[in-house]
Amino acid sequence: MAAAMKSLAATVRSGVGKGAARSERREGRVPGVIYGGGEAAEPISLNYRELNKLIYAGHFLTTIFELDIEGRKERVIPRDYQLDVVKDTPLHVDFLRLRPGSFLKVNVPVHFSSQETCPGIKKGGSLNVVLHSIEMKVPADAIPEGVTADLNELDINESLHISAITLPEGCKPTQQGDFTIASISPPARVEETPVVAAAAAAAAPAAKGKK
């Protein structure tokens, strides 16, 4: 399933540099830049409250936005953002212009299904996740929200590889080969500690002597 596009209002930012950026933040705005697409970088300004909410809602860096820049529409995707090291509030954001037919490299989350019916887990094994996300080259206009790894047939000491996952159309992993996504580890053995074993051995003769 492709991620839905969201709308976000922005204004053109005339001033550049640290002084202008501080002035934007004092006014409840966050400075940003749009780049790529064969055009010059464009400084913009965004509403702090709205941007902060979007960042902490999750999936910010894989969400396509239609920026409304004073009436002009620009389709973009966030490429990076900077947070205050103390307050964790947004200080700056970079957007990449999206053009029809373009591709991006993004980390696509892996969602695991059928854990309740997984043979290995039912036998006491545990899920060992090797990759929580997969870096993929994806169409800019169809960025997937995630891929599903089905554990329904996975037994103890078996692994699930990328070849077992159905990838969205047009998406391709950047890593080569049939790499491992997850495996099922065997149950951990509970062994007696030396102290417990020695105490049990010492108690045995004492118990016999009382008979």
Residues in the chain: 211
Total-model pTM: 0.66
Sign, CA dihedral 53-108-140-175, equals positive
CA 112 – CA 131 distance, rounded (Å): 11
Task: Please report the domains of the chain, with CATH numbers, ordered by start residue.
Answer: 6-99 (2.40.240.10), 104-185 (2.170.120.20)
From first to last of its 211 residues, the chain has per-residue pLDDT tens of: 556 678 999 998 876 767 777 788 888 899 999 998 888 899 999 999 999 999 999 888 888 899 999 999 999 999 999 998 998 989 999 999 988 788 888 899 999 999 999 999 999 999 999 999 999 999 887 888 899 999 999 999 999 999 999 999 999 999 999 999 999 999 977 555 555 555 555 655 555 555 5
* Tokens (6 digits) for 183: 């495996």
Q: Cα dist. 77→60, 80, 123, 154 in Å?
A: 9, 9, 44, 36
